[in-house]
């Protein structure tokens, strides 16, 4: 069957076991889950409606899932497509790596598609997703942004890269 599910589990400290809490049907084109833990020190985010969950990437779109929702958060947000690719594209775009960073005032993801395009996915008001084009770098297997403002890209093929993010 082409049905896919995302299951949420919790650790029950009283019983010392893992309990399945919720299973959600998702798009059959879903291919990448990015976890988003919201630490306690980011209580302002939790008050704004954002709680821990996962970013679900499907062909050409992303949506947010969290434990208290029975269905994926709507609306789904489409990822921008380069003009040179849009003419012959079916809209299917595969996300191959992701980096999540919590900030003092907001959390955001950097996700990369199969062409090397980076997108910043952040949470607007009421936990709605916002997607912006960020940059294009070599296709990576892993990414990391340090507190000092350096951006490391572990390349899938070829040399790794280290960038400095200028503060504006």
pLDDT of residue 9: 86
35-63 burial, b at 16+ Cβ within 10 Å, e below that, comes to ebebeeebeebeebebeebbbbbbbbbbb
pLDDT for residue 167: 74
Q: Would you place residue 120 in the very low, low, confident or very high pLDDT band (cuts 50, 70, 90)?
A: very high
Q: What's the rounded Cα separation, in Å, for the pair 95 and 72? A: 18
Residue count of the chain, please give it.
168
Q: Give the best-scoring range by mean pLDDT among 28-42, 62-76, 109-123.
A: 109-123
Q: Model pTM greater than 0.85?
A: no
149 Cβ contact list (under 8 Å, min separation 6): 164, 165, 166, 167
Cis peptide before 75 (omega within 30 of 0): yes
């Amino acid at each position: 069957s082409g049905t896919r599910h995302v299951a949420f589990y919790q650790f029950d400290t009283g019983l010392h076991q893992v309990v399945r809490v919720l299973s959600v049907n998702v798009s059959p084109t879903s291919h990448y889950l990015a976890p988003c833990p919201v630490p306690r020190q980011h209580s302002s985010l939790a008050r704004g409606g954002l709680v821990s969950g996962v970013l679900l990437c499907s062909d050409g779109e992303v949506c947010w899932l969290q434990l208290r929702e029975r269905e994926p958060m709507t609306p789904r947000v489409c990822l921008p497509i380069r003009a040179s690719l849009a003419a012959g594209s079916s809209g299917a775009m595969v996300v191959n790596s992701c980096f999540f960073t919590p900030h003092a005032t907001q959390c955001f993801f950097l996700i990369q598609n199969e062409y090397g395009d980076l997108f910043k996915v952040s949470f607007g008001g009421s936990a709605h997703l916002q997607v912006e084009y960020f940059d294009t770098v070599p296709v990576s297997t892993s990414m990391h942004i340090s507190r000092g403002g350096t951006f490391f890209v572990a390349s899938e093929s070829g040399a790794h890269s280290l960038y400095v993010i200028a503060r504006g």
